[in-house]
A and B are shown apart, each in its own frame.
Chain A
Amino acid sequence: MTFKERLESRKFVVVAQLQPPKGIDLSEIYGHVERLKGRVDAINVPDLQHAIMRLGSLSVCALLKGKGMEVIYNLSCSDRNRLALQSDLLNAAALGLQNILLRQGDHPSIGDHFEAKPVFDLDVMGLLGAVKRLQEGYDLGGNDLQGKPQFYVGTEVNAAARGHVLDLEVMDMEKKIRLGVEFFFTNSIYDPGLLENFIKKVAHFKVPVIVGITLLKSVGMARYMNKHVEGTFIPESIIERLMRASDKQRESIEIAAELIREMKPLVQGIQIIPIGWENLIPFLLDQVGL
């Protein structure tokens, strides 16, 4: 069953995020994929995430698909104009990549090429509009296409939003669904109560939501995320557990497992973001019976 079929039949999906290498040595990512085969439903491959120049999502997705892995191709508005975005969407379709995750993208000034000119020719709404047009058989210029691409379209949502930001997020989701979004990935959530509050507000859309969990590698990382990654709320109780633990890696996996157990009934899937702890994903999935 494909990623799309699973979500459409309301089955739970497990996604792992694997970052492309900075360079062209794919041996490490191939190793991860071999270990994850049969354990995850899809690999999500970011596109120039955090504005760090690295191998692109497109080639990595095509290569992983060639190895029999289902993938989610990422495309962001930050670094390409509407010609390049549409062309890359056609590239993806021609390479047989159906699942796409469309992102606003990160501003170059936060990355490793901070003198670069940001593009943002389209925002994510504009990009969703482009995907819609391509699927109807013509481009943003109104020109006919030879062969219509077909995609399974996802984008991101901030499930940690509260107050009026949550109201805006719900309005934003409604607009994105109007433009054809079929699934949403959330940011990393460490407070199931926040997620529950969010899901209550958006359940009526009946569009699958996949919750993110970044594995916490250290107390410092947790504190950094709380301070600098907007939308991240890691409760102090979790940070204290990590601080007290003699085996921090094991404790981190236990924390993630508990969160997954609690949040699983609320959502249609999880995305595990390992950031260097890719080898631990099978162990984590063992802990939660997935």
Chain B
Amino acid sequence: MIKAEQKPMEEILRSIDPYKKILLSGCGACVTVCHAGGEKEVLLLASALRMARKKIGKPLEILEATPSRQCEPEYAQELSELSEKVEAILSLACGVGVQTLVRFFPKMPVLPGVNTTFLGETLSHGIWEERCQACGNCILEKTGGICPISRCAKQLLNGPCGGSSKGKCEIKKEADCAWQLIYDRLSSLGQLYKLEEIIPAKRWGIESRDSGLRRIIREDLKI
């Protein structure tokens, strides 16, 4: 799922400084799971913002809402009525959710309250780690299910860089070397022969974000 972290309080306060009444919108999906922008975080942040503004003599009125998925049109539309009562929306959804609101409310400033960080998994309570960069052409079949694009600092496709030490990355010392993990995994699967293949360079400019805006069109689903 998408992982995010709440922006620093000072930055949020700066961005909402011109407004007296805002809608603080969380999201019931990914950011709820990573405790950055769910219903609970909306409640806590709203209180903190009210107190901070009261303290400097600029009271702030905050309406609160947490649609199930802010990035889906039918849920974003639930905010229509509330949005008419405020000057701006502070969104605790990921960058996708923020932009969905921007599309639905063209005259309303929509401000991000979180930094969208990566696509990752929960390692344990309170610890999340990157697993996918949405590169557009999955090679996990070749690498034992461990992604070198998201987990190797150099995104190497054909083995380690030689800088890792005791199985840890040269760049991020706390991270496992992706190619050590790939070796261990292929070894345990009895598939080390897969390393003999030379994986060709990725077609960044065709498949990935580097090709410009990506879009999926499913003719069978279009209405």
B158 and A123 contacting across the interface, CB-CB below 8 Å = yes
A172 to B183, CA, bound (A): 13
Cβ of B44 under 8 Å from chain A: no
B171 and A82 contacting across the interface, CB-CB below 8 Å = no
Interface string of A158-188 (1 = CB under 8 A from B): 1000001000100110110011000000010
Interface string of B86-104 (1 = CB under 8 A from A): 0000000000000000000
Q: In the complex where A109-B171, A123-B157 touch, is A168 in contact with B204 (Cβ < 8 A)? A: no
Looking at chain B's contact residues, is the secondary structure mostly helix, strand, loop, or mixed?
Answer: loop
B196 and A118 contacting across the interface, CB-CB below 8 Å = no
Cβ of B59 under 8 Å from chain A: no
- Nearest neighbor of A105 in chain B, beta-carbon distance: B154
A158 to B179, CA, bound (A): 15
Cβ of A26 under 8 Å from chain B: no
B195 and A230 contacting across the interface, CB-CB below 8 Å = no
Near A by CB (< 8 A), chain B positions 160-211 give 160-165, 170-171, 183, 187, 195-196, 198-201, 204
Cβ of A78 under 8 Å from chain B: yes
Near B by CB (< 8 A), chain A positions 210-268 give 230-231
Cβ of B155 under 8 Å from chain A: yes
Chain A nearest CB: distance from B188 CB in Å? 12
Near B by CB (< 8 A), chain A positions 100-154 give 104-105, 107, 109-110, 118, 120-126, 129, 140
Near B by CB (< 8 A), chain A positions 15-58 give none
Chain B nearest CB: distance from A220 CB in Å? 19
- Nearest neighbor of A127 in chain B, beta-carbon distance: B201
A110 and B204 contacting across the interface, CB-CB below 8 Å = no
B157 and A125 contacting across the interface, CB-CB below 8 Å = yes
A168 and B153 contacting across the interface, CB-CB below 8 Å = no
Find chain B residues with CB under 8 A from A118 CB: 153-154
Find chain B residues with CB under 8 A from A78 CB: 154
Counting chain B CB atoms within 10 Å of each CB, which of A123, A164, A179 scores highest? A123
Chain B nearest CB: distance from A289 CB in Å? 32
- Nearest neighbor of A78 in chain B, beta-carbon distance: B154
A230 and B154 contacting across the interface, CB-CB below 8 Å = no
Chain A contact residue count (CB 8 A cutoff): 30
Find chain B residues with CB under 8 A from A120 CB: 154-156
A41 to B183, CA, bound (A): 39
Chain B contact residue count (CB 8 A cutoff): 24
- Nearest neighbor of A122 in chain B, beta-carbon distance: B201
Counting chain A CB atoms within 10 Å of each CB, which of B153, B154, B155, B200 scores highest? B154
Near B by CB (< 8 A), chain A positions 66-83 give 78, 82
Find chain B residues with CB under 8 A from A124 CB: 158
- Nearest neighbor of A123 in chain B, beta-carbon distance: B156
Kindly identify which residue among A104, A125, A179 contacts B161, using a CB–CB cutoff of 8 Å.
A104
Find chain A residues with CB under 8 A from B204 CB: 121
A164 to B199, CA, bound (A): 21
Q: In the complex where A120-B154, A168-B195 touch, is A158 in contact with B162 (Cβ < 8 A)? A: yes
B201 and A123 contacting across the interface, CB-CB below 8 Å = yes
Find chain B residues with CB under 8 A from A104 CB: 154, 156, 161-162
Find chain A residues with CB under 8 A from B201 CB: 82, 121-123, 126, 129, 140
Chain B nearest CB: distance from A101 CB in Å? 15
A107 and B195 contacting across the interface, CB-CB below 8 Å = no
A158 to B163, CA, bound (A): 10
Q: In the complex where A104-B154, A168-B160 touch, is A110 in contact with B196 (Cβ < 8 A)? A: no
A175 and B198 contacting across the interface, CB-CB below 8 Å = yes
Kindly identify which residue among A121, A123, A158, A175 contacts B196, using a CB–CB cutoff of 8 Å.
A175
Q: In the complex where A82-B201, A230-B163, A230-B164 touch, is A168 in contact with B156 (Cβ < 8 A)? A: no
Other than the known A105-B154, A122-B201, A164-B183, what 11 A-B pairs have Cβ atoms closer than 8 Å?
A: A110-B170, A120-B155, A121-B201, A123-B156, A125-B158, A126-B200, A129-B201, A158-B162, A168-B159, A168-B195, A171-B159
Give the top 6 A-B pairs by smallest Cβ distance, nearest first: A126-B201, A125-B158, A123-B156, A122-B201, A120-B154, A230-B165
Chain A residues in contact with chain B, CB under 8 A?
78, 82, 104-105, 107, 109-110, 118, 120-126, 129, 140, 156, 158, 164, 168, 171-172, 174-175, 178-179, 187, 230-231
Chain B residues in contact with chain A, CB under 8 A?
153-165, 170-171, 183, 187, 195-196, 198-201, 204
**Can you report 28 A-B residue pairs in the complex whose CB atoms are below 8 A from each other?**
A104-B156, A104-B161, A105-B154, A107-B153, A107-B154, A107-B163, A109-B171, A120-B154, A120-B156, A121-B201, A123-B154, A123-B201, A124-B158, A126-B200, A129-B198, A129-B201, A164-B187, A172-B158, A172-B159, A174-B196, A175-B158, A175-B196, A178-B198, A230-B162, A230-B164, A230-B165, A230-B170, A231-B162
